[in-house]
Amino acid sequence: MGYLHDGHISLVRRSKKRADVTVVSIFVNPTQFAPNEDYNKYPRDIKKDRKMLRREQVDILFHPDVSEIYGTNFQTYTNVENITKILEGETRPNHFRGVTTIVSILFNCVKPDITFFGQKDAQQAEIIKRMVNDLKFNLKVEVCPIIREKDGLALSSRNVYLSDKERQDALILNKSLRLGENMIKNGETSTKKILSEMKKLINSVDSSNLDYVSIVEKKSFSIAKSIEKGERYYILIACKIGTTRLIDNLLIKV
């Protein structure tokens, strides 16, 4: 959605390695924002974005207007069931319907062979992979690693909202993920115990307001009741720091 940072640029660089032509779409999508969310104030700086993309020698920037995408009397939506009803989907109803609709429109406009998404939006990436498989889009979805600051904070366009103190407080998200990871590496199999300790750590920061912390199975994205050897799991967090809602996650291989 623009306001590019090094996380986005990592996707561009991956595309440059994997594809002959790289197309970047920038579109702040109104249908994935609820009425009480930050669509109107979502950070935008298309001039800066253009400079960054030129520097990376991107072939095409696709930057349509809302009217070009949705026109008048738009009525058709793409929706994935089940996986969209938990976690982000439970907290933000209709969010993923907006995401899958705009992504399917962009796919139809650009017709890519490969598309690149970031792991930071892990649930979104799994939903898009499911949609591509179910609707037989003729393309491959590649999910690329989270890019972090040196102190561990996951890069996000919304980080610009954080005050200096909130920026420091936000480090608690990555710290809690590492706590969960260490508990699993040390043999803890009870997700209830892991999540309890993570919540205590997150709630120790005054500015935090935890939305959810959860452990899900990588393939099914179903809530994990226990940790089993040979499986892969996402530890997922959504939390407000002050008034800024941040998400983060860690992929664990047991």
Residues assigned a catalytic role: 8
The two structure tokens encoding residue 110: 């650009």
In angstroms, the CA 234 to CA 250 distance is 6
Please count the residues of the chain: 254
48: Cβ contacts below 8 Å, ≥ 6 apart: 3, 4
3-state secondary structure of 109: helix
Which amino acid makes up residue 223? Answer: I
Residue 241's nearest CA partner among 170, 187, 175 is 170
Q: Residue 206: is it exposed, middle or buried by C-beta count within 10 angstroms (0-12/13-18/19+)?
A: exposed
| Crossing angle between the packed helical segments 171-185 and 191-203, to the nearest 10 degrees | 150
